[in-house]
Amino acid sequence: MKTVGTFCLVLHSHLPWLPHHGRWPVGEEWLYQAWAHSYLPVTAMLRRLADEGRRELLTLGVTPVLAAQLDDPYALRGVHDWLGGWQLRAHGAAPRLGELAAHEHRTSAAALTEFETRWRHGGSPVLRSLADSGAVELLGGPATHPFGPLLDPRVRAFGLEAGLADAALRTGTRPAGIWAPECGYAPGMETGYAAAGVRRFLVDGPALRGDTALARPVGDSDVLCIGRDLDVTYRVWAPRSGYPGGRDYRDFHTYDHPSGLKPARVTGRNVAPEDKAPYDPGRAAAAVARDAADFVAVVRERLAGIRERLGRPGLTVAAFDTELFGHWWHEGPAWLEAVLRALPEAGVRVTTLAGAVDAGLVGEPVALPESSWGSGKDWRVWAGSQVADVVALNTRVQEQLLAALSPGLVRDPLQDRLADQALLALSSDWAFMISKDSAAGYARGRAERHATRVADLSALLLDGKHTDAAALVESWEHPVFGHLDARSLAP
């Protein structure tokens, strides 16, 4: 079959730093659920396809702050315990939930086996093996996923370098592509990307006015931006019409409270939880096959239209949070596998972002506007009036960080700890969660906790009270990024 064009699937894996910062409902539990229901099955699916000799399946972004959690001994022990607890909950629910509990027991047992076989030494060996096999391209990014347009350029460059260096340490390769946090962009940021060795980054489709059929050089640079095709992406994940809301899929919001399991299918959008029909894995599998076929048809039609318009084969990029697949959408990993198998059979070339660029799918230079992938496709989620206090807090954190760093050739571990806490305070997650009213109290508390540590430690360092500063950090958790060298930020 003649190839109609090129499709790139991009998955963005990210959670803020969660170990030692609460357990339920948005602390460590959040990490362990995503790990069990998304990271384990998605990487297992990719390994199956790689073992068949399939290459360039997708582009996988794993933020440095998530990669650090997937390698953290405390978190590894925590998720292992969580997986065991999941199996026990399924076992205990058998008298009430019958076959559903048995299905859940089999799923949890498979997850335990996957973890104990592949993950006991952390996530980096898993990711590295997928990249080394050629199955995926790994994307990097700034260390703690900050909203770049609002950062002091020095702090922005420091966080990006820390993240790229961290990826090189964990996977053996420094990424050439990044998922810019929240797809946040301000004119001129491509200069910093070029200086860091970044060759390509993601933007949302509206930043390119919807013209996402080719990668585009940004301004006068040779750094490429690649746009997310919303017409294709929203076929999967749209608030009212995406596949996960289909009647036969497992309902995310309905719980069997004694066990914590989810026993119902969606049934209907306006059906009360107590009236929802029981989950049926067979019906869900049929829905996966139906919706995978629909998506393949959508992609092929999109690429045929691009080819007719350009007079040459073009590109469509669908990009999602990895956590959609498995955690939010129980059947998501199975749907991904079905799509990745079916697209080549439909005459669609599947490759990575690097593969698309290598194939010459590059257009004319473009001047990008201020943009993001958030509400309104502007900066309102991270810079709006509802988070004005967080914006002001972040400004103070950066000022205190920069002021406390003294020039010199001797590395000061206390300055490195200061930088570590500052980067955690600057995570974009806190403003996002507040703007979306999703665990806003937790988000504000986390931002203020890290900012307070920065204020206290920077004051002691400025006063030359190193003994007191050392005593202060003794009570903190271990640093997230032990390789940070704050000297690069010092005047």
The β-bridge relationship of strands 177-178 and 200-204 is parallel
Nearest to 96 by CA among 275, 252, 271, 257: 257
Alpha carbons 289 and 243: distance in angstroms, whole number: 11
CB-based contacts of 78, cutoff 8 Å, min separation 6: 19, 28, 31, 32
Residue of 182, 190, 331, 412 with catalytic role: 182
- Residues 231, 321, 448, 468: which is the catalytic one? 321
Write out the chain in H/E/C secondary structure: CCCCEEEEEEEEECCCCCCCCCCCCCCHHHHHHHHHHHHHHHHHHHHHHHHCCCCCCEEEEECHHHHHHHHCHHHHHHHHHHHHHHHHHHHHCHHHHCHHHHHHHHHHHHHHHHHHHHHCCCCHHHHHHHHHCCCEEEEECCCCCECHHHCCHHHHHHHHHHHHHHHHHHHCCCCCEECCHHHCECCCHHHHHHHCCCCEEEEEHHHHCCCCCCEEEECCCCCEEEEECHHHHCCCCCCCCCHHHCCCCECCCCCECCCCECCEECCCCCCCHHHCCECCHHHHHHHHHHHHHHHHHHHHHHHHHHHHHHCCCCEEEEEEEHHHECCCECCHHHHHHHHHHHHHHCCEEEECHHHHHHCCCECCCECCCCECCCHHHCCHHHHCHHHHHHHHHHHHHHHHHHHHCCCCCCCCHHHHHHHHHHHHHCEHHHHHHHHCCCCHHHHHHHHHHHHHHHHHHHHHHHCCCHHHHHHHHHCCCCCCCCCCCHHHHCC
**What is the rounded CA–CA span in Å between residue 32 and residue 24?**
11
d(CA 44, CA 111): 10
Given phi > 0 = left and psi -120 to 50 = alpha, else beta, which region is 242? beta
Tell me how far apart the alpha carbons of residues 90 and 97 are, in angstroms, rounded to a whole number.
Answer: 9
Residues 87 and 35: beta-carbon distance below 8 Å: no
Whether residue 321 lies in the annotated active site? yes
Strand partners, 349: 6
Q: By the 8 A CB rule, do 455 and 399 touch? A: no
User: Which residues are tagged catalytic?
Assistant: 182, 321
